[in-house]
Amino acid sequence: MKTYFTCILVFAFTIVWGQNNCSNAVTILLNSTTTAPSFSGETGTTAPTLLCGLSGGNGLKGKWYKFSATQNLNVTISTQLPQNNDVDTRVIVYTGTCAALVCVNSNDDYNGANTSQVSFQAINGVTYYIAFDNRYSQLGFDFSLTESVPLGPDRLSFTSQVVPTITGGYNNCIVDMNGDFKDDIVSVISRTSLAISYQQNDGTFTSNTYTVPDTFVLPSWSIAAGDYDNNGYNDLMYGSGSGIVFLKNNSTGTGFTTDRKTQSYLTQRTNFVDINNDGKLDAFACDDNAPNRYYINDGVNLNHIQGGIGDFVTGGNYASNWFDFDNDGDVDVYIAKCGQGGAGVGGNIDEFFKNNSNGTFTNIAIDANMANPEQTWSGAVGDYNNDGWMDVTVGVNSNSNGVTNVKKNNGDGTFTSVTSGSGYDTITNIGREYVAQDFDNDGYLDILGSGKNIMFGDGNFHFTPNPNSYNISDYDRPIGDLNNDGFLDIQNGSTILINNGNTNKWLNVNLQGIQSNRNGIGARIEIYGAWGKQIRDVQSGTGFQNMSTINAHFGIGQATTIEKVVIKWPSGIIDTLNNVNANQNLLVVEGTTLSIDNFTSSFFSVYPNPAKDIITIQLNNSESVIESAIIYDLTGKIITTANEINMPISVEKLSNGTYILLIKDITGNKYAQKFIKE
Amino acid sequence: MNFLFLMKKYYLKSLLLLFTLILIVSCSDKDDNYIAVSPVTVDLTQVPYQKLSDYHFFEGAMKNQNPSLNVIPYEPASSLFSDYASKKRFIWMPNGVKATYVSDNKILEFPIGTVIIKTFYYSTIQPDNQTKIIETRIMMRKSDRWYFYEYVWNEEQTDAALQEGPDFENGSSKNFSFKKPNNEIINIDYRIPSESECYACHKINEVRTPIGIKPQNINTNYAYEGGYKNQLQKLFEQGYLESYPSSILSTVDYHDTSKPLDLRARSYLDINCAHCHQDMARCDYRSLRFGFNETANPTNLGICISADEVLSPSLQKLINPGNSSKSILHYRISSTDESQRMPLLGRTVVHDEGVSLIEQWIDSMTFTCN
């Protein structure tokens, strides 16, 4: 009797003391129910501090358990048991080791109750740590660990990886920051400091924390990146409730100066884009309370202008998405709008600006059928059906004026809603961020939009979510290729979700503009192959608040070669590459594929070539009329502009070397050819 | 000297003296037909004036904010939190026109020429707890619509200058330190709004409008110079208000602990939130409705309602009854993050007393969500 009693006591002690820290986590078996005693009176416990998305701060005490999977299976841990009487619990699941925990999943309130439930895909041989804390309740509770039926096999899965050098509070910017075209991770810490984690060849990150002059504002509403001084290193733009600030990366990518603009306004989406197509990158900022603002780059300063691109008096401008909708060679802009609807006063009516190619923009939303009344904070732009025309998925952040609306570009200046049957007609979740990318590399654009899931496109405006949701944030979810494997990854705070990929092939296209802005923002990239044609427009600032890679990414399914890659630069220069290998990062420098053979252009010829004194342009097509011509050197500098095309152009004063002649006809088409001065 | 000569010499002066005496005596008679004239000048074809003093809204030293004749002070039962600024509010109307009652919860229908004045000041500016007036905002009703004008006070506190052009397009800020009611000293960049920022909150159906002067908010006694009086009654007697009903569903002063917690919290939410969270206002596409006359209904307050924008697995309900730390409403009013804080504009620091009120209120709720 006495011995029996002692045994019981020892066993009880084990339960009370044995699970208080990660290092003495108690093993839990599959399909079991365990009693976690009350936290009251316990000492020596460690509360979990890596909260994996839970908010409200740490608890004071924790309870730790561990589960080792002996097969691949879907596991659910739950406190939603009737005997718990809706006790307020929180649970976090980790892998890794106690010294280096990696987030798997977490939950606080499940389905509107105070109890918790979390599911995850357990992998054979892996040990999972399960932690509870007393942030909201001291009471004990029971929890179950059961094998659950997965909702379906993942179409695409991701593996979490902690990046310990992500140390700031603003983590929504993935872009190359050291000029090697590999995506890096920007983490803004304070008004005077930011950390950049640079992607290395081996998949690790090395980081630098920069001290910068006071930026006065932080990227509380959005962040964008682009090389506005064309020095080869991307600069940053923070969008805040009090206007914007630029952080200019120096000429070696090792430090920043700041340019705080004095205008104070409620900024939403920010972008870098060459608005007036002069080869110098400008910046655009949506204003939520007034007409939009932009900053025109004169080569020295970024000069503020308000008005002309979204002039609704009380604003309601949430996101701006710059792309070429009519394939005329210049970027247009879609403005996602949200605001007081009801009587239809207009704050919620989207705007759609066609670039008139002369520095002005016209809102053609009504004619284009893009005056969408839905309450949207961003639209996902892309060619979903690979017909060569950019479509727009108008993503809603409230269902009060309709659900997410998928709009197909008809190619004739108008759009038609194809939401019916798209998959978006039957879901009601909402969100701020809608971006289009090919995540499974099958050659069809997918949408990372509302909810913690990807809607995989089939190339015909049908979108299907992954059976299981992903552990991503609803808000900060920048995208880039963080391990250089050709599959796009997603960041969630200090964790990155590395795309587990598949056997599909891919192509990344990295641009270096010479005559155009250095990033090639505004360039149209076309790839041709067994799939037909795919297109991308190079952009900075998509979705609502995040900055994703500037590199153009394509998936090509099981094809192994790309017949042709065409880059249509904003300058009008066209580069063409034939028979490109798949699975590579293709770097294209503007103009390098232009021929100097004077018979290759079908539109015009330049002679003599090489030239000593003058060049004459001869039209091969007598119906065309040339309007103007520009001569660039190979560093992108404009040497001569000529409006009198009938006369020969003097090249006598040019230094010897190779030049690009870019001519424009009266319908706005541009053609380029190299010539040599000797 | 001849007496007659003396009489002649001083005759005129004496007569003048006598005449003056008679005049003074007769003029001091209260039953006389002497009419006091208000010095206020508001020429709608000339406004806005360059200086606040040009309107003559105040007599004596400007900084004393003593209202001139016919400039009537008022105060809503609960007031908007503006980074702990103190406020003085006034209203003036031209002769012969009156405002009319619309409903308890709607702005009075004000006639053309109405001017509403709101001065923002601090009396604990550091060092030494100085009193400084920062700005005076004016709303003026012209024939087409309301106009916003912003006047920024000089350091000498003698006058305030109209903000125009880029200054009013961008707003501005003033940096100073002051002592909060809890004795904590903080430093703020006090924000003086741009016209767009005024318009962002002061609108219904995209039409510019005042916010505070609703019958529900001024159905209280105010200590006027002549004594305590109900504010609606005062406006009526002043000839500013046509009429008002005897029974009005009214807000309370949220500081008043003798009033039910529920009414205090709902009054606080009305004045701090309803300008955006009501029909046809900035945020009408979300389901929250914070007007006092609507918040007897728990659904309008968001009680047990899952937010459109869930912030985390711990912050899903707008109000989680009994649990303020899991209520998005509580989280947002406690936040200073620009993309999460509520109100969206108008404050940069947390209102400790307001948060405490809302916290108490939510934690005392006994609803259970199903």
B194 touches chain A (CB under 8 A): yes
> Residue A539's closest CA among A169, A98, A95, A226?
A226
Chain A nearest CA to B179, separation (Å): 23
Averaged pLDDT for residues A180-190: 97
- Sign of the CA dihedral with A302 first, then A285, B335, and A55 last: negative
Averaged pLDDT for residues A106-129: 92
A425 touches chain B (CB under 8 A): no
Lowest mean pLDDT, pick from A7-11, A140-144, A216-220, A326-330: A7-11
CA-CA-CA-CA torsion for B253, B259, B261, B262, nearest 10 degrees? -80
SS3 for A302-317 is EEEEECCCCCCCCCCE
Say if the Cβ atoms of B196 and A289 lie within 8 Å.
yes
pLDDT band at residue A358 under the 50/70/90 scheme: confident
Q: What tokens were used for A40?
A: 């009251």
pLDDT band at residue A384 under the 50/70/90 scheme: very high
Report whether pLDDT(A237) > 90.
yes
pLDDT band at residue A15 under the 50/70/90 scheme: very low
Report whether pLDDT(A585) > 60.
yes
**What interface predicted TM-score (ipTM) does this complex get?**
0.88
Query: Contact at 8 Å (CB) between A335 and A319?
Result: yes
Lowest mean pLDDT, pick from A79-83, B22-26, B37-41, B218-222: B22-26
| pLDDT the model gives residue A616 | 87
| pLDDT the model gives residue A56 | 82
DSSP-based three-state secondary structure for A590: coil
B306 touches chain A (CB under 8 A): yes
Question: What distance in Å separates the CA atoms of residue A100 and residue A126, rounded to the nearest whole number?
Answer: 14
Which residues in chain B are closer than 8 Å to A432, comparing Cβ atoms?
309
Q: Which of the pair, A603 or B14, is modelled with greater confidence?
A: A603
Write the pLDDT tens digit of every residue in B321-345: 999 999 999 999 999 999 999 999 9
Question: What distance in Å separates the CA atoms of residue A177 and residue A248, rounded to the nearest whole number?
Answer: 11
**Identity of the residue in A107, A110, A112 whose CB atom sits nearest the CB atom of B306:** A112
pLDDT band at residue A125 under the 50/70/90 scheme: very high
B165 touches chain A (CB under 8 A): no
Residue A322 phi, psi (nearest 5): -95, 120
Report whether pLDDT(B30) > 80.
no
Percent of chain A with pLDDT over 90: 78
Residue A88 phi, psi (nearest 5): -90, 100
Under DSSP, the state recorded for A636 is S
B315 touches chain A (CB under 8 A): yes
Centre a 10 Å sphere on the Cβ of residue B59 and count the other Cβ atoms it contains.
16
Q: What tokens were used for A293?
A: 């603002």
Residue A471 phi, psi (nearest 5): -85, 65
Q: Taking a contact as any Cβ pair under 8 Å apart, which residues of chain A between 608 and 667 contact chain B?
A: none
Amino acid at A83: Q
Say if the Cβ atoms of A220 and B338 lie within 8 Å.
yes
| pLDDT the model gives residue B20 | 55
Closest chain A residue by Cα to residue B331 = A56
**Best of B198, B328, B339 to disrupt the A interface by mutation (most A CBs within 10 Å)?**
B339
Lowest mean pLDDT, pick from A2-16, A290-304, A450-464, B63-77: A2-16
Percent of chain A with pLDDT over 70: 95
Report whether pLDDT(A13) > 70.
no
Say if the Cβ atoms of A108 and B312 lie within 8 Å.
yes
Say if the Cβ atoms of B313 and A474 lie within 8 Å.
no
Averaged pLDDT of chain B: 92
Say if the Cβ atoms of B199 and A289 lie within 8 Å.
yes
Output the pTM of the full model.
Answer: 0.88
Q: Taking a contact as any Cβ pair under 8 Å apart, which residues of chain B between 115 and 144 contact chain A?
A: none
Lowest mean pLDDT, pick from A592-606, B124-138, B241-255: A592-606
> Residue A324's closest CA among A417, A392, A271?
A392
Averaged pLDDT of chain A: 92
C-alpha separations of A654 from A616, A638, A648, B245 in Å: 15, 12, 15, 87
Q: Give me the residue label for tokens 């091969």.
A: A620
| pLDDT the model gives residue A4 | 44
Closest chain B residue by Cα to residue A53 = B312
| pLDDT the model gives residue A663 | 84
| pLDDT the model gives residue B314 | 87
DSSP-based three-state secondary structure for A661: strand
Centre a 10 Å sphere on the Cβ of residue A348 and count the other Cβ atoms it contains.
27
pLDDT band at residue A14 under the 50/70/90 scheme: very low
| pLDDT the model gives residue B19 | 57
Which residues in chain B are closer than 8 Å to A80, comparing Cβ atoms?
none
Question: What distance in Å separates the CA atoms of residue B356 and residue A557, rounded to the nearest whole number?
Answer: 58
**Best of A51, A55, A374 to disrupt the B interface by mutation (most B CBs within 10 Å)?**
A55
| pLDDT the model gives residue A595 | 77
Averaged pLDDT for residues A637-643: 85
Closest chain B residue by Cα to residue A450 = B309
* Angle, alpha carbons A164-A168-A172 (nearest 5°): 95
A57 touches chain B (CB under 8 A): no
| pLDDT the model gives residue A111 | 83
Averaged pLDDT for residues B241-265: 97
Which residues in chain B are closer than 8 Å to A474, comparing Cβ atoms?
309-310
Closest chain B residue by Cα to residue A89 = B314
| pLDDT the model gives residue A633 | 87
Residue A245 phi, psi (nearest 5): -140, 145
B95's CB contacts (< 8 A; 6+ apart) are none
